[in-house]
Amino acid sequence: MSVSDLLLEQVVRLHAGGQNQRRDETGQIDVTLWGKVAELGLPLAMSPEASGGFALNWSELFDVLAHSAACGEPTPLGETLVANALLCAAGLAPVEGPVFFRIPVEGPDDRAMPTLPDAARVLVAQGSSLNLVAPAEAGDKAIASTMPADQAVLQSGALLRAIQIAGALQGALDLSVRYAQERSQFGRTLSKFQAIQHMLAQLANEAEATAAAARMACAKMDAGDGALAIAVAKLRAGRAVEKGAMLAHQIHGAIGVTLEYPLARLSRNMWRWSDEFGGQRHWAVNIGRASLGATGAWDAVIAPSDPVGATDRG
Amino acid sequence: MSAAERVAELPPEALELRTQVREFLAGYAGEWSDFDRAHSWTGFDREFSRALGKRGWIGMTWRPPYGAGRSAFERFVLQEELLAAGAPVGAHWVADRQSGPLILKVGTSEQQQRYLPGIASGDLSFCIGMSEPNAGSDLAAIEARADRDTGGWRLNGTKLWTTNGQHCQVMIGLFRTTGPAREMRNAGLTQFLIELDSPGAEVRPIADLTGESHFNEISFTDVFVPDSRLLGREGDGWAQVTSELALERSGSERFLSAFPLVAAASRELALLPSGSVEQADLATLGTLVAETAVLRALSLTVAGKLERDEDPSYLAVITKDLGAELEQRTAPAVRSLFDRPPAGLQRAIDYALRAAPTYSLRGGAREILRGITARALGVR
């Protein structure tokens, strides 16, 4: 069994039992769960061994990241893991506490941050700089940059969000299938209605397409050529959210829109994630520009899933 | 249900083949208009298929002596390059994709010797005899019959929606050999190799929305086929057809049929003064490209499963359903990029728009595919 399989097994076990305390991005994080996650060394899973990490790559961590997102991301595992890898890559020391990403918006920002534990840090990406700050400073203060927020940071964030969206869609699909099998109306379970079956199938389409896109982007990122594949994955993930979240809610009826029901966490996370590290328009324009020319479109189609260097036209 | 599976990586020999295919296709660059290319895999050109056959590019995965035993990935690259270029592959497409593999799998050695070399050379075209006037999505409702006669069988009935049937020499047809449809459903069905110049077989082209005739109605009146033309085993028709359909649904023609329009649009946009393409138009183009790229990754995963002899049908069905949706969105999206498209491209768009309704019908209607996925999810 590989290290990544072992980690997945443990993450699945830790998240089992389901209803974690962090209901959505405005609520508390599940501190108990975080303690167990940290105990396993997971926040350093992507960091080099010299920094105490496992040096796992994106492909190896896909399942762990996706599973945590499918469970509603009760801890900021994905963010912390990626932030630590970024910190290490910039020659800085990884942090112990949970890390949250924060992308400031222009004008008033009413997206509340979770109530964070004291040890937490917030990674704020603004313009060309990326700052690691204490929660109290995450608002509007200008803070000295700890490393440049270059293309690699944007890519890492976008890839993380694509993986998490893939996980959240799978989580939404699992919830929807279960609900359709349990809920009865007109004397039969929802799963017996063809209209519901077809909505479930379409939700599966979106989940599988996003997962394939994110896995493809992981492989390319690991091979050192992530730019186009990540653009494709983040765009596809965002489009899948538009369709997938609505399908999951339609299948669930009114129960799905209550904050108490686990689907709410999934859809709220998905909507936020699809907007972060480049929304659909950003990446679509980016890909469009790369696709211009007589052979440009086809080359851009195959490059993201081709081996590195294979698509250069001679 | 697992979230996803690793996207297979193309091996070096497949990438090498791509260079050769591109060189070969460059020779046709000036010959095909955007309108020709929009016909995609329904375009029928015997000479082109023969040129491919000469290079060993039809039936390339078949074992020797009929093929070169090359990998599913090499075929994958060949097919996608042909489709992306909008090459007229209709004369060999069906035979290469499903008829040949089926004959190789269940045919007698006499049948293999009689048909496979002709397919591989691009000379023999096959059509699919499944649908009937009263059996479309519900294939188990077919009524066409085969009754025993001295030394063979007599066929009676009608096959419908037979793509390019008017140009094909051979049909693999599904016929009822035992009992009536209402009682037997998918039991008692048998496949036959029917040479369409047999007395009693009549092919009638059907004009469609595009103004052309791709579909045909093929009727059989007391058509005699000898015992040696029974394909596989008597009564095994349903299982054989199911394995054929898996091949029919898993290829990249299920999401690339409209791609030549995207390539043409990106070529035209690139001719505009640098920086003058509007952001929204770049986003439209980028979205079409990204969605195609993801389906290509899914399709590559399917090819990997085929290479490993695993069942690819769950992902194949998802790829086809999403692919048809994308293909149907393509013509309107490409049209939206231009106030007035160049005349050649406009003609291609008009054609693709009228061909588009069939994208979510052929090879399994959208509703059938979603039912298959629902069953895999455990709700059916």
Beta bridge partners of B132: B135
Q: Do A216 and A304 meet the contact criterion of CB atoms below 8 Å apart? A: yes
Cβ of A231 within 8 Å of Cβ of B369? The answer is: no
Which of A212, A292, A306 comes nearest B266 by C-beta? Answer: A292
CB pairs below 8 Å between A and B: how many?
Answer: 191
Cβ of B263 within 8 Å of Cβ of A208? The answer is: no
Residue B13 annotated as catalytic? no
Q: Do B70 and B60 meet the contact criterion of CB atoms below 8 Å apart? A: yes
Full-model pTM: 0.94
CA separation for the pair B48, B89 (Å, rounded)? 7
Cβ of B371 within 8 Å of Cβ of A207? The answer is: no
Residue of A nearest to B23 (CA): A314
Q: At what angle do helices A58-70 and A3-15 cross, to 10 degrees?
A: 10
Cβ of A221: how many Cβ atoms within 10 Å?
Answer: 21
Q: Give pLDDT, residue A128.
A: 60
Cβ of A247: how many Cβ atoms within 10 Å?
Answer: 22
Phi-psi label, residue B237: left if phi above 0, alpha if psi -120 to 50, beta otherwise: alpha
Distance from first CA to last CA of chain B, Å, rounded? Answer: 15
What digits encode the pLDDT tens for the residues B366-380? 999 999 999 999 998
Which of A166, A215, A307 comes nearest B6 by C-beta? Answer: A215
Q: Give pLDDT, residue A136.
A: 65
Q: Give pLDDT, residue A25.
A: 47
Q: Give pLDDT, residue A308.
A: 87
Which residues of chain B lie closer than 8 angstroms to A197, CB-CB?
Answer: 370-371, 374, 379-380
What's the gap in Å between the CA of A169 and the closest CA on chain B? 9
Please identify among residues 288-317 of chain B the ones whose CB lies closer than 8 Å to any CB of chain A. 288-298, 300-301, 315
What digits encode the pLDDT tens for the residues B87-113? 999 999 999 999 999 999 999 999 999
Which residues of chain B lie closer than 8 angstroms to A63, CB-CB?
Answer: 3
Please name each of the domains of chain A with its CATH number.
3-149 (1.10.540), 152-305 (1.20.140.10)
Q: B277 — contact with chain A (CB < 8 Å)?
A: yes
Cβ of A177 within 8 Å of Cβ of B322? The answer is: no
Per-residue three-class SS string for chain B: CCCCCCCCCCCHHHHHHHHHHHHHHHCCCCCCCHHHHHCHHHCCCHHHHHHHHHCCCCCCCCCCCCCCCCCHHHHHHHHHHHHHCCCCCCCCHHHHHHHHHHHHHHCCHHHHHHHHHHHHCCCCCEEEECCECCECCCHHHCCCEEEEECCEEEEEEEEECCCCHHHCCEEEEEEECCCCHHHHCCCCEEEEEEECCCCCEEEEEECCCCCCCCEEEEEEEEEEEEHHHEECCCCEHHHHHHHHHHHHHHCCHHHHCCHHHHHHHHHHHHCCCCCCCCHHHHHHHHHHHHHHHHHHHHHHHHHHHHHCCCCCHHHHHHHHHHHHHHHHHHHHHHHCCCCCCCHHHHHHHHHHHHHHHHHHCCCCCHHHHHHHHHHHHCCC
Q: B379 — contact with chain A (CB < 8 Å)?
A: yes
Contacts of B122 (CB under 8 A, 6+ apart): B46, B48, B49, B50, B51, B52, B53, B54, B58, B91, B92
Residues in chain B where the model's pLDDT stays below 70: 1-5
CA separation for the pair A163, A159 (Å, rounded)? 6
Q: B84 — contact with chain A (CB < 8 Å)?
A: yes
Q: B6 — contact with chain A (CB < 8 Å)?
A: yes
CA separation for the pair B282, B269 (Å, rounded)? 9
Please name each of the domains of chain B with its CATH number.
12-124 (1.10.540.10), 128-235 (2.40.110.10), 251-377 (1.20.140.10)
Cβ of B7 within 8 Å of Cβ of A219? The answer is: yes
Q: Give pLDDT, residue A104.
A: 62
CA separation for the pair A85, A103 (Å, rounded)? 19
Taking only the tens of pLDDT, chain A with its 314 residues reads 788 899 899 999 998 875 554 444 445 678 889 999 999 999 999 999 999 999 999 999 999 999 999 999 989 999 999 989 988 887 888 888 888 877 665 555 555 555 666 667 777 766 666 677 776 665 544 444 455 556 777 889 999 999 999 999 999 999 999 999 999 999 999 999 999 999 999 999 999 999 999 999 999 999 999 999 999 999 999 999 999 999 999 999 999 999 889 999 999 999 999 998 889 999 999 999 999 999 999 999 999 999 988 866 64
Cβ of A286 within 8 Å of Cβ of B286? The answer is: yes
Residue of B nearest to A301 (CA): B293
Which of B2, B19, B345, B379 to mutate to probe the A interface, most A CBs <10 Å? B379
What digits encode the pLDDT tens for the residues A73-104? 989 999 999 989 988 887 888 888 888 877 66
Q: Given the residues B244, B248, B253, B307, select the one marked as catalytic.
A: B248
